[in-house]
Every structure is written in structure tokens, then in C-alpha cells.
Structure 1
Amino acid sequence: MLYCICRLRYHNSCDSPLSAINYSVLYIDDLKKERSTYAELVSRPLSPFRTIATAPHIGMHDPNDAFPDSDQLIRSTFDQPNAPTALVKLLNRYPIYHAVLDLVTTYTFIFEENPDRAKELATIMLAVRDAPDGLFADPSFRREFDVQMVDLQNHCLSLNADPTSSRAEVLVTAACIQLLIGGSELIKYSTSYFKSADEVSTKLKTQKASGAVKNLNALKLLELTILHAESGFKKENNNKDVWKLLFPSHI
């Protein structure tokens, strides 16, 4: 089942301001993990059914790329008529873990530049992930994909955002997006930030009372999230149409 959930790009900590709020097929937490160098990535042991791509181009391109011009190649492939098949073929040419990171990163950047393509891009990514003849049919690469694109991995939600901060409205709204779309899953995680639906409800009500959220659509979103929390975050109350609620004029 295809559903899009909010991607929140954080800078160094859970309390840092968001650089983007947008739809994504999965929650991507791509800035909080340590990144291996290219050499380390190509030296990782792979499945015996896969052979690492020999790379005579090492040292001749941006060391942050898995292969020469990876970003541009992946970008152009996303635009092809049969993008999933083309991406599968491209990744099969470079069966290395860093290529997975480049795929996810480029996908994210394309979305940020073209949010109206959210559903299209999400559909492509799911097709690439589930292709039986693709890179992710190999369990080791599927695990790497799951590491780079993890459902609801960040559980802090910024429910304790300082109401006097200029970024509080964005942080609280971002938390509401996550909770409305996937609250039934998020609530399964007991963290230092929240331990129950009741606690989430209380914290959201505190944020509402503080006046941190001023945008009318965001305020409606906050109120809907409070109701979702009060119901115990039942799965049937998850709402995948959050984007329409928050930005009705852009849908």
C-alpha cells in the first residue's frame, strides 16, 4: 500500500529547525548517521550472489558520488518514461552500498524541488525497491535501503519545542504531520519524549494553549492531531491527506 509520510531533515539534533517539510515514501533520516568513505563502502562484504563493481574511475570523480555523475544520472533516469525499470538497470550496474545512498539522496532532492511529483516519485521508489530482478532483491542491499529510508525512525517529534522560539510553529506542525499520518506506529515506541497517547495529547494541548501555532491550517492540523491522540492513535484514524489539509491551495 502506497502512502506518503513526512520527511523531516534535521541538522545535528532533534531540536534543530527543519529545512523541509514534505511528502516522502518513507521517513528519511539521512543526516544523523555517520557516513563511510567511498573506499570503505566498496570494501564491504556483499552477498556471494553479487560482485562488487570494479571502479577504474575511483579518484576521478567527486568522492561523495557512488559512481561518476551519479546524481545527474539518477535524476535523468527518474524522468524517463519507464523510470523504475531504468533505475533498476542503473543500480544493477553499480551494486555498491553507496549507490543506495545516492539513490535516496537524489530522490529526496528531486522531491524538494518538485513537491507536486510526490506521489509519482514515491511510486517509482517502491517499484525499484520491490523489483524482483533489482539490487534490492539481495537481502544485504535491501537492509541498506531500509537503513537509508526508515519508516518513522525519528521519534522525538519536538513535542517539547519552546513556544517562544521562532521555529516552534514549524516544529509542532511537523510533529502533527507525522502523528496524523503514522501515529498508530509511532506510539508503539516508548521514548524519553513520550510514553503514551495521553502524554502526546497533553503536550500538544500545551503547545496549542501557548499560541505557538498561528497559521489557521496548521492550527486545524494541531486540533485534529489532538483528537487522534485522545482516541489512542487508532490505525483507522491515521490520515494520509495531511498535505491537503495543510496546503489546500497547492493540491
Structure 2
Amino acid sequence: MTRLTFENVWVRYGSGRSSHDAVRGVDLVVPDGRLVGLVGESGSGKSTLARAAVGLQEPSRGRILVDDVDVVGARGKTAAVRRQVQMVFQDANSSLNPRMSIGASIEEAFVVRGAGGGRAGRRAEVATLLELVELDPARAGDLPSQLSGGQRQRVSIARALAAEPRILLADEITSALDVSVQGTVLNLLMRVQRELDLTVLFISHNLAVVRQLCDDVAVMKDGEIVEVGPAASVIDDPQHPYTQELIAAIPRVGTPLFDRGAHR
């Protein structure tokens, strides 16, 4: 298991008068083996923070640590440490190559991590990963367009896992899915997190889901963390006015999307 730490992280877009600090002085720890929720409205900086962790956006200031290794501007051996952090994006349609079979998309991660084993070995590993995310390995030759939205998101999870990460960032992974499918994907995420002993940062705007899913929660507003603590404490007894506003907007009618108890 691996810990992810943000220390005084700032991320700036643009330069001069047109610049904007999307993330401002964030301090946050995602402990070993924990599932931490990061919540806030659209534009609060959640996804930008995650992109900084995987190297898609370099911070303008601060450190991002995988255990005790700073991975900002990672090169050489440090880059290998950063590969322990993988991300599942909100829209599987845009993260998967529409002209590439899902099996080939998953195999790309083997090249990144320098895996050997030959063609037969790679195919066997693809089959294992598809089974892990509850897809039929016989569909490895399918194109993304031949799958449903929920199935494509399962492929995205398998592709992230193919890099053998210790830390997984899940960025609004169910927001583009039908409500009827969201629960099955969330159940899958919990099972994979438990079975592989992953550290997970779960990004969402839905506090009701975070309340059921996560051990801890951090609340982000205008690029800053305004409240953090155990999920039950923060959501049942919010201290910051912004958190209180988010809590007030949670729907109170209906049943849980998934069964957390089945995975604990």
C-alpha cells in the first residue's frame, strides 16, 4: 500500500493578467489503503488536483509525494514511482481510442510499465483484467463503440489497473452513467480497492455517494480544502458553511446506489 500526500500545492493556468490559480495551497493526505472522497462543485479544482498527481498538469508550487518521494517533474526512477499513481477519467468515450480494440487499449499499459511475457502472456493478462472488472474476456477484440457506457468505464478501470498502480484516482467515474449502472460500477471499485489493497482518491460532487463509499472526505471550494475528516463526521456534522450548503443539497429520497456492507 502507498500514501499520497499533497503539500502546499498550487496549480496555475495561463500567465500574466490572464493567469488563474485553479488550486491554491492544498494540503491533503490520502493514507495507505484508505478510500478518500474529494468533493466540491464543478470548477472547484478537484480534477486539476488529480491531474497534477498523475503528471498531466505540473504544479506551480508545492510537492506531491508518493510515500516520501516527490514526483513533481518526475524523471528517471522518480517517473517509475509516479506510474504507481493511475487515473480513471469521467468520460470513458474520450479516454479510450475508438479505433483500438479494448484489449489493445489495455495492453498499452503493459508497454508503459515495461512488462514482458510475449504476445500470449499479454493476452492472458488482458483476460485476467477483464475478468477482474467483470467483463467477458472474449470481448477483448471489441471496439469501445460496441460496449455500453458502464462497460466502457469498466474497461477504463482495467486499463488503469494494467499499470499495476498502488494509488488510483477515480474522477467522477459514474457521473456520465445512467443511475441504474452507477451502483454496479461503485461496487466494482470497492471490491477492486479491497482485493488489491489500493489507496483511492474518489472525486465526486455527490456527497450522498461519498458518505456511503469513503472512509474520509475532503471538501474543496475555489481551489482550497475547506474541511477534511472522517466521512461520517464531516457529512453528519459539517463545520464549514460551504460544506453545510453541500449537505443541504443532498437528495433525501430513495435507496443507496450500492451496498457498502457487502464489501466490508
TM-score, length of structure 1 as denominator length = 0.27
The one of the two structures with greater contact order (alpha-carbon pairs below 8 A, sep at least 6) is 2
Structure with greater strand share of residues: 2
Using the size of structure 2 for normalisation, the TM-score is 0.26
Greater fraction of residues in helix? 1
